Structure formats: structure tokens, C-alpha cells
């Protein structure tokens, strides 16, 4: 069976689903293909990094994905993509949670239209810094409703460095009546590619008058995992009733040809005058090949964090930093 390296293109943005991922081509012709892939990961997590926060432990998880497409007209393909994850040491042991599940159409010249569960349109901005294996991407509000939203209609158009994404969400399982998101970006073809992007999202919250919307901007320089890469994002989130949130993230990384990659980053999230998150993140990984890698991931608190009431108003400082976390992991991709 031949393994091939593939870069998964979601309807919004090209995303490496498992870092350096391989997949098995179960069926392939000039007009159709069916690809099966996934990963198995084992972590040794510190106390605060475990699901129970009780004691340090080994925790494992697995993912499975299916990627299929078939030609239905000249320049038009129908596509379907799904991905699930299961954790071995959780209270939901054995339950497969859906990460992605969408179907739609991909054209040669007019973009991609999909229906189902996927990242929202603003993720193209958040993705500038969402590169850490375990921690990171918490200096923003994108993940407040789970990030990958169900019930979406999604459109992506990419052409000569220009990227446009738009999503409309009809309903959600995470207290969302409806929502919309969009982003635009452009890649400048320098010696190191420079990506500049801005985005917007809106959510009508079920059983609440505290609806929210946000604007975000991001920059990245280089190619993640290949030589030098850096990313920076800022997001401002406005709530109808609660205090507004300001978040930003920054990182720098370098990937060597011998398989080593080092990541260093910082994230900060505030609501009104309250500090909700202030962390340094570091990761060192070694890729034996495109299938197998090991990594050390850590998150270290920087400043004391605050408690807030239901409307995000600061109550008091906790007098301590957020809990430090460490994970040592081995990951096999297939």
C-alpha cells in the first residue's frame, strides 16, 4: 500500500491536520479518490495537564479521518470529509467525538462550498498562531463555543495568494442560535512568505441577551515547521452585556532539516481590567519521519490571574499564576 503525504484543505484554509501526516489511498482513479488516515498519541501528563487534575498519568487518544471526492462535471468535484477523536482515559471512554464532518463541492475556478461541521470563517486569522501540539491558542475567544462549529454553510475562495472565507451557522449544540464569520487574507511571495489577514465573527446566543461579535487580525512569516516561522494575532470581542475581551498571541519557531523543531510563544487574554490568561508556551519536537514524532510541550503561568463575575467584572486577584503544565508525548500518524 502506498503512503502519500497530503495537506488537508478545509473549506477555509489549508491546515495540516496532524502536523506531518500520512494517509492510505484506499481507492484512487483519475476522477475519484478515497483516503483513510489518522493518528494514535500517548502522553505522559503532569498533574494539571491530566483530565482529572489528580496525579501525573499516561493518557492516550486516537483520531480517524476519511477524505473522499469524485468528479461530477468538468472542473467540479463533490467532496466529503470527516474526522473523529476518542480518548482512552476519560469519563467518556470509548466515545468518538466528531471534529469535522462536511460535504460539498470544489471547483477549479470558483472556490469551495461545503455544508456541515468545520472551522468557522475567522479561523484563517487564528491559525497564524495555532501551531502547538497540546497548549496555546488560548489568547483568543475563538474556542468559546468549541471552535469547529456544526450546522455551517461555508465558502472558500483562493487565488494567487488571495484567500476569502465566509461561514453562516444555522444552529449549534453549544448554545448558539446562529452565527456568521468571515476573513480575508493575502500571501506576499517574499523569500519567506508573509501572510496578512483580518476577520470578523458574530454569534446570537441561545437563551441569552449577551450576544457577541469580534474582530481579529493576524500576521505570519515563513512556513511552519520548515526553517523560521513567526505568527502574531490580536482579537477584540464585544459582548452586549458582559465586559469586552482583548486577546493576543505571539510565537516564533524554527525547524531544522534533521527533524528537530522548536516553538516559543506567549498568550494573553483580558476581560475588562481582569487578567484571564497570561502564559509562556514552549515545545520541542523531533520527527523521526513523516509518520512518527515525539515532543515535549509546556505551559508556564506568567502573572497572577483574576476571578470575574458572570458579566466579566473583576472580583479579585487569585494571588497566583495559572497552573503550569507539561506533556511528554509520542505520536504515530498513518
Domain ranges of the chain: 36-59+106-333
pLDDT tens digits along 156-210: 999 999 999 999 998 766 678 889 999 999 999 999 999 999 999 999 988 787 8
- Does 92 have pLDDT greater than 80? no
pTM of the predicted structure, to 2 decimals: 0.86
Mean pLDDT for all residues in the chain: 88
The domain made up of 36-59+106-333 has a fold known as: Porin (2.40.160)
pLDDT at 173: 61
SS3 state at 47: helix
Average pLDDT in the 290-301 region?
Answer: 95
Q: What single-letter DSSP state applies at residue 186?
A: E
Average pLDDT in the 275-289 region?
Answer: 96
What is the torsion angle, in degrees rounded to the nearest 10, for the CA atoms of residue 123, residue 124, residue 126 and residue 128? 150
Buried b (16+ CB within 10 A) or exposed e, 190-225: eeeeebebebbbbbebeeeeebbbbebbbbbbbebb
pLDDT tens digits along 298-320: 999 998 999 999 889 999 888 88
- Does 127 have pLDDT greater than 80? yes
List phi, psi (to 5°) of 303. Answer: -120, 165
Amino acid at each position: 500500500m502506498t503512503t502519500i503525504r497530503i495537506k488537508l484543505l478545509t473549506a477555509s484554509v489549508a491546515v495540516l491536520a496532524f502536523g506531518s501526516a500520512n494517509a492510505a489511498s484506499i481507492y484512487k482513479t483519475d476522477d475519484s479518490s478515497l483516503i483513510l488516515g489518522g493518528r494514535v498519541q500517548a502522553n505522559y501528563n503532569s498533574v494539571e495537564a491530566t483530565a482529572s487534575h489528580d496525579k501525573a498519568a499516561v493518557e492516550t487518544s486516537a483520531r480517524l479521518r476519511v477524505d473522499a471526492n469524485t468528479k461530477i462535471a468538468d472542473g467540479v468535484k463533490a467532496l466529503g470529509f470527516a474526522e473523529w477523536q476518542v480518548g482512552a482515559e476519560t469519563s467518556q471512554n470509548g466515545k468518538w467525538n466528531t471534529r469535522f464532518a462536511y460535504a460539498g463541492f470544489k471547483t477549479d475556478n470558483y472556490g469551495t462550498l461545503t455544508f456541515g461541521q468545520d472551522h468557522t470563517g475567522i479561523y484563517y486569522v487564528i491559525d497564524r498562531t495555532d501551531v502547538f501540539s497540546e497548549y496555546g491558542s488560548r489568547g483568543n475567544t475563538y474556542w468559546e463555543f468549541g471552535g469547529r462549529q456544526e450546522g455551517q454553510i461555508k465558502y472558500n475562495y483562493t487565488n494567487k495568494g488571495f484567500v476569502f472565507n465566509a461561514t453562516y451557522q444555522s444552529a449549534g449544540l453549544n448554545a448558539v442560535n446562529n452565527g456568521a464569520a468571515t476573513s480575508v487574507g493575502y500571501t506576499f511571495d517574499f523569500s519567506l512568505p508573509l501572510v496578512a489577514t483580518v476577520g470578523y465573527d458574530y454569534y446570537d446566543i441561545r437563551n441569552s441577551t449577551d450576544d457577541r461579535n469580534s474582530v481579529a487580525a493576524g500576521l505570519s512569516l515563513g512556513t511552519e515547521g520548515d526553517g523560521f516561522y513567526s505568527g502574531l494575532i490580536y482579537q477584540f470581542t464585544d459582548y452586549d452585556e458582559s465586559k469586552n475581551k482583548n486577546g493576543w498571541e505571539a510565537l516564533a519557531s524554527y525547524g531544522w532539516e534533521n527533524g528537530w523543531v522548536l516553538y516559543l510563544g506567549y498568550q494573553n487574554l483580558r476581560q475588562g481590567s481582569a487578567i484571564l490568561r497570561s502564559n509562556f508556551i514552549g515545545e520541542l519536537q523531533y520527527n523521526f519521519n513523516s509518520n512518527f514524532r515525539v515532543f515535549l510541550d509546556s505551559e508556564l503561568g506568567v502573572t497572577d490571574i483574576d476571578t470575574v463575575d458572570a458579566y466579566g467584572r473583576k472580583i479579585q486577584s487569585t494571588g497566583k499564576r495559572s497552573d503550569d503544565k507539561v506533556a511528554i508525548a509520542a505520536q504515530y500518524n498513518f
